[in-house]
Amino acid sequence: MRLLYLGDVVGRSGRDAVIERLPEIRRRLETDFVVVNGENAAHGFGITPKICEEFYAAGVDVVTLGNHSWDQREIMPYIDGDHRLLRPLNYPAGTPGKGVGVYPASRGRKVMVMQVMGRLFMDPLDDPFAAAERELAKVRLGPGGMDAILLDIHAEATSEKMAMAHVVDGRVSMVVGSHSHVPTADHRIFTGGTAYQSDAGMCGDYDSVIGMKKDAAIFKFVRKIPGERLSPAEGIATVCGLLVETDDRTGLAARVAPVRLGGRLAECWP
């Protein structure tokens, strides 16, 4: 099975690039399942029901969120009714929405997707390691269980992301990091068979400060006083992500490769 994960979509530029290019990407890479992180899709902060529907129409199977999950108020009453939209699993009990789901893929196969949010330099949520363990205790990867399991860890610290991957190695198909908006060069398959990358990067304009217009972002660093509100850069976006091909016998990774298309970064087709 071929799983494609696309990193944080930032603003209109990122949305347009993903929506325009995803049908071609799915055909060319023969992907079976696509997950997109959409937590910065609505002008850089959160997501709206309309944007979710646009992603689904373009070929996205599941949308994950993160620390900006609730920035758009209209998502609060919507998320409970959209089983394909996931917020971090380790939000406190009673938070709207859910952090894990099982979804159909081609040829009757099943894909489990879950997301956790890290705690280092982030909001102090519940333990992401314990949350992941609780869900993995309910299922198994391979014959008679899930055909693939994808874990999105939305976190600031690469150490926390990497620790999570080692903890679940051999029990999920892939662990991919989101949030930092910079694609890392450490894509690999761990000894237990789980594919990993510390951060898939963003889908957005890289002539920016992690997707935001340069001048306002630089002002905040240089002057350290309130200034113009950050807003997404509007140039040509790069679509960044990770492709993982699994072994149908085990559900573990057989191949992992980065995806970088268009914009300012060096292009990389798997």
Q: Which residue carries 């380790």 as its tokens?
A: 90
Beta-bridged to residue 3, according to DSSP, are 33, 244
Query: Phi, psi (5° rounding) for residue 6?
Result: -110, 130
Active site residues: 68
In angstroms, the CA 132 to CA 224 distance is 38
- pTM equals 0.96
pLDDT at residue 21, as a whole number? 97
pLDDT at residue 226, as a whole number? 81
In the chain, the domains with their CATH numbers are 2-261 (3.60.21.10)
Q: Which residues of the chain have pLDDT under 50?
A: none
End-to-end Cα separation, the chain, in angstroms: 15
In angstroms, the CA 262 to CA 12 distance is 15
Alpha carbon of residue 149 to chain centroid: 13
